[in-house]
Amino acid sequence: MTFRIRIYGDPVLRRKAQPVMEFGPFLAQVAREMIATMRAAKGVGLAAQQVGLTLDLCVIEIPEGEKEDRLPAMPLVLVNPRIVAQAGEACGEEGCLSFPGIAGPITRAETIHVVYQDVEGAKREVQLSGLAARAVQHEMDHLAGVLIIDRFSSARRAGLRPALRRLKLQAQEASVG
C-alpha cells in the first residue's frame, strides 16, 4: 500500500506535527507505507504531512551511491526528531515531492546531530552530514509546516507564482476527485 502524496495547496502541508505518544502496530504500519510511498515516488525523504497526517514522523532513504561514512542503516524512520547540534553551511539544489517540477538552492547546516525515537519508541541519536543532513532538515521543516518556497529568495518565489498557482489547482482537483 502507498499513500497519495499531498501537493502544495493542500492545507495539511501547513499544519504542525503532533508529538507521537503511542508506539505500536499502527505507527509501524504508517512508517512502512510512508517508506513504500517514498520509494514509489523516487524521493529521498517523506514527512507525515505529505501523506495527510500530522504525526511527528518522517522517513529518509539515501541512495547507496550517495552514502557517506558512518550513515545509519536505511531507510531511517525518525519519530519526534529534534536537532540538538549543527555545524557548517552548505547550499544545494532542493526539490520536494509536494512541489513537482520545482527546485531551487537552499542553504542548510552541513552537519546535524539528531535525537529521535525509532518506530518502537526507543531513544536514538545520530550524526548526519551531506545529503542525509539536508534531507532530514527538509523533512523536519515539513513537520513544522515549513515548505521549500519559504526558504527560497523572494525574487525566486515571485518567479514561481504561475507554477505555484497551477499546483494549487492540481491539489484542489486531487482533493475532490
Number of chain positions touching Zn ion (CB under 5 A): 1
Cβ proximity of 8 and 164 under 8 Å = yes
Closest to Zn ion by CB, 24 vs 63, is 63
> Does 33 qualify as catalytic in the annotation?
no
Determine, following the binding rule CB under 5 A, whether residue 58 of this chain makes contact with Zn ion.
Answer: no
What Cα–Cα distance (Å) separates residue 21 from each residue in 13, 55, 72?
21, 9, 24
CA neighbor of 68 nearest in space, from 149, 148, 138, 126 = 126
What's 97's DSSP letter? T
CB of 149 to Zn ion, least distance (A): 11
Q: Where does this chain touch Zn ion (CB under 5 A) — which range of 71-79, 81-89, 94-102, 122-130? A: 94-102
E strands, the chain, in order:
45-47, 57-60, 76-87, 90-95, 103-108, 111-117, 123-129
CB of 79 to Zn ion, least distance (A): 18
The residues that bridge with 58 in the sheet, in sequence order, are 47, 78
CB of 118 to Zn ion, least distance (A): 22
Closest to Zn ion by CB, 53 vs 96, is 96
Count of H helices and E strands in the chain? 5, 7
Which is the catalytic residue, given 66, 93, 94, 139?
A: 139
CB of 25 to Zn ion, least distance (A): 27
Determine, following the binding rule CB under 5 A, whether residue 96 of this chain makes contact with Zn ion.
Answer: yes
Tell me the one-letter amino acid at 50: Q
Closest to Zn ion by CB, 17 vs 96, is 96
So which residues are the catalytic ones? 139
Under the rule (CB under 5 A), what is the footprint of Zn ion? 96
